[in-house]
Structure 1
Amino acid sequence: MKRIKYFFILWQGLACLASSGYGQMKTSLKSGQLSLIKSQSTNPGDNVHCGLQDRKGNLWFATTADGVFRYNGKTFTNFTTKNGLNSNGIFAIYEDKKGNIWFGTDKGICRFDGKTISPFSEANGNFINPFTKEQTTNIFVNSILEDKNGIFWFGSENGVYCYDGKAFTRFLDNPNLVNPTQFDPKLVLCMIEDKKGNIWFTTRTEGIYRFDGKTLFNYKPNNESWLRGLLEDKDGNIWIGRREKGVCRYDGKTFTNILQNGTFDLCTVNEITQDKKGNIWFATEGGVWHYNPRRAVEKIFQNISKKDDFRHHGTWFVLEDKSGNFWIGTRNTDLYRYDPRQADGKTFTRFSEK
């Protein structure tokens, strides 16, 4: 019986590899179901939207229709509404200073305390929408940030909200905020806190905002309103993802378009991250790009994902784990791992179902 089971698993793995047509793709199905399995999504536009590695070493991957997956290095555990989430559409994930994992969903926020996931509430476990105080929530949260003072920031379709550990407040209701032009950030997508303590957030309709702790500033580089990916690099520069125009960079004084002079300049940049070596990675609608300022000018930008590496080249995030692997989420709810240390440097492994 064991021998039959062994040959069935072996045949299953070989069949996946043979039918994939992905030159260097390796199957992740070995002696068990080790893949991220779609159980809810049917839309090819659904994606593995964001991820993180927690302090215990677990990898978390949030999807837009199948809840969130935790990977311990061997197997995936799927958390959905059956496990306490208020929605299976997850668009932000964040680990706070205490080790709690926060999830931004299309119906508000949830928190994992290490044991259970539950909608986050102010009122003794009875869920109250922290933004509207209504029982039924429909707030779409795209980004979460805990600043150096321990204040939580939530970027949503309805604007920016803050949580001080006791109560939620609308950012614009801060009585100490200097906002002479009456800016009203909406459709907030990404947020970061820079080394100087400025809070930055990109929006879908109003460009990028910066809050210096007192005054709110608005910028529209190239007169563009839709900006997304956001990163402060190790030198203190702010990188901003543009819609179908690549990226620009802010050095504290001016915004400069950083051009590849090719395909990258036509990409929508969804997320930007910097690896341990200082290289910058871009998750775009045209695959994953790598920026290495130490290379010759013509090779500064490289698309590491070739035609057959992904089933869909619409990528949403790149995450470097503690072992030096890079995890990539794409449309079709696909998850890949890229290991640059392979002999050919181009090996991708798919960790989602065929």
Structure 2
Amino acid sequence: MKNIYLTLFGFFLFIHVVWCQSSIAYLGINQGLSNDLVTTIFQDRDGFIWFGTSNGLNRYDGYEFKVFKNDPLSKNTLSDNRITAITESKFANLYVATKSGLVVIDPNRTNYQQVLLQLPDGNTPINFAVHQVEQDGRGQVFAQGGAKGLLKIQETKDYNIAQLIPLKYDGQSLSNYRVNTICKAAGVGIWAIIENLGLAYYDSEKDTFSLTEKGNFQSAAMVADPTGNIWFSNRGQIVCYNTNARSFTYYNFGPYRKPIVNLYYGKDKKLWICTDGMGIQKLDINTGKFGDQVGFDQQQLTSKSIFAVLEDKDNRIWIGTLRGGINIIDPLRRRFKTSKINPNSRLVNTSDFTLSFEEADQNHIWIGTDGDGLYKWNKTRGVIENYPFSSNLDLRHTFVTALVQDRVGSTLDRNL
């Protein structure tokens, strides 16, 4: 069966298909991003990519940005322009955490609700920084409220209320504790680093939040791998907690001498370590070795301060940076190669414009040009040659707008 080739009218031959020979593309203020400091990245169920920045929430549809910002004169708005985290609930509501509150945006992305904090004397809108929002395996949403502790969100049609989860510690029930970072467990539940106390686990089935291991950890990032092990940063180290053996393994990250700001478990089954100043380092969790071979040239990144990473449903890698906007690594781009009729010429001529394609056989393609006649492309040799015509059928300077080949291999063209 023949392959199908798209006809590109009025474009350079293959040039617009391969719009960048580099595997890294860039999106920033000039492309509509509200700010070049990107703090978090999330893909919703509809495929939109959301970016939190230090000055607004951004939704990207592959072509353009839509920016959402705080309106001080409206209640139907974000609580702050400084976005810290984004997630989507099982009801398709978008949770947006900021430096001064937590907002829920409905599935139509038109109505905003401030999440309320449940207090003994009534409910009040959250007005403090929420640094993370996560879902457990059952779809329950949690928020990391720093000094306000771990918050569990009660999500209904009419309101959203955050409840402080008491921490069980040495036979006591603590309501005054600080959470440094959280992550969802591989199954159900939430893990958390409690400042000056240690590692804690919220059991979704038992509805209990207990200190699992004591320790004075100073962590800025944490993530779980598919086996259930927990990885977190700690004073220039990467720490792995084996949840089955209940044991710690420490990996010295000290020689890199750059702050760790985020951890991401990649589809390559490696731990991605996002640093403030040294790009992305990777830890092979099987060998315990660090390396900067990340699958792309980090010298092409617009910033070495990496705050957020996302691998989307199509395996594109989105990298959010400090003052460098967004970098996109698309592995599909590497599959394309530019072919030109005059590869050594920088000038634009009529042979570089194509109007029609037709497959001759497995190794050859007919190319109809915009004013330079008919060409035949040998894909195996990578050679494109002008097709010779007899003197009584000279098409060297015509516009070949359509091509079709019959069953015996004869090619007919429509020309102007």
1:105 pairs with one of 98, 111, 114: 98
CA 1:67 to 1:202, structure 2 compared with 1: closer, same or farther past 3 Å?
Answer: farther
1:193 pairs with one of 168, 184, 187: 184
Counterpart in the other structure of 1:247? 238
For 2:176 and 2:302, the matched residues in 1 are separated by 35
For 2:230 and 2:80, the matched residues in 1 are separated by 32
CA 1:137 to 1:238, structure 2 compared with 1: closer, same or farther past 3 Å?
Answer: closer
Q: Report if aligned partners of 1:66, 1:88 keep a CA contact under 8 Å in 2.
A: yes
Q: Report if aligned partners of 1:179, 1:215 keep a CA contact under 8 Å in 2.
A: no
Aligned-residue identity in percent: 22
Counterpart in the other structure of 2:291? 301
Residue 70 of structure 1 deviates from its aligned partner by 0.5
For 1:72 and 1:28, the matched residues in 2 are separated by 12
Residue 24 of structure 1 deviates from its aligned partner by 8.6
- 5 Å-filtered alignment, 1:144-293, equals 144-157=133-146, 158-165=148-155, 167-172=161-166, 180-183=171-174, 186-203=177-194, 205-212=196-203, 213=206, 214=208, 216-219=210-213, 223-243=215-235, 245-252=236-243, 253-259=246-252, 262-263=255-256, 266-285=257-276, 286-293=278-285
Note if 1:52 corresponds to 2:46: no
Superposed CA offset, 1:267-288 (max 9, x none): 4322222233323212122311
Note if 1:139 corresponds to 2:136: no
TM-score, length basis structure 1 = 0.71
Select the structure that is richer in strand.
2
Superposed CA offset, 1:207-258 (max 9, x none): 43223343511535xx543112211112221111223x13111112211013
- Residue aligned with 1:164, SS: strand
Counterpart in the other structure of 2:409? none
Aligned AA for 1:62?
G
Q: Report if aligned partners of 1:96, 1:102 keep a CA contact under 8 Å in 2.
A: yes
CA 1:234 to 1:280, structure 2 compared with 1: closer, same or farther past 3 Å?
Answer: same
Q: Report if aligned partners of 2:133, 2:142 keep a CA contact under 8 Å in 1.
A: yes
Counterpart in the other structure of 2:84? 91
Larger radius of gyration between Structure 1 and Structure 2: 2
Superposed CA offset, 1:116-160 (max 9, x none): 141335xxxxxxx42455656422111112334443321102212
Q: Report if aligned partners of 1:240, 1:249 keep a CA contact under 8 Å in 2.
A: yes
Residue 103 of structure 1 deviates from its aligned partner by 0.8
Give the unaligned 5+ runs of structure 2. Answer: 1-19, 336-416
Aligned AA for 2:52?
A
Residue 27 of structure 1 deviates from its aligned partner by 5.4
CA 1:136 to 1:217, structure 2 compared with 1: closer, same or farther past 3 Å?
Answer: closer
Q: Report if aligned partners of 1:203, 1:227 keep a CA contact under 8 Å in 2.
A: no
CA 1:141 to 1:228, structure 2 compared with 1: closer, same or farther past 3 Å?
Answer: same
Residue 59 of structure 1 deviates from its aligned partner by 0.3
For 1:195 and 1:307, the matched residues in 2 are separated by 30
For 2:332 and 2:187, the matched residues in 1 are separated by 35
CA 1:169 to 1:314, structure 2 compared with 1: closer, same or farther past 3 Å?
Answer: same
For 2:180 and 2:326, the matched residues in 1 are separated by 22
Superposed CA offset, 1:140-182 (max 9, x none): 1111123344433211022122223364322118xxx676155
Counterpart in the other structure of 1:114? 107
CA 1:134 to 1:251, structure 2 compared with 1: closer, same or farther past 3 Å?
Answer: closer
TM-score, length basis structure 2 = 0.61
For 1:330 and 1:55, the matched residues in 2 are separated by 24
Give the unaligned 5+ runs of structure 1. Answer: 1-16, 18-22, 39-45, 122-128, 345-354
Q: Report if aligned partners of 1:241, 1:268 keep a CA contact under 8 Å in 2.
A: no
Note if 1:130 corresponds to 2:120: no
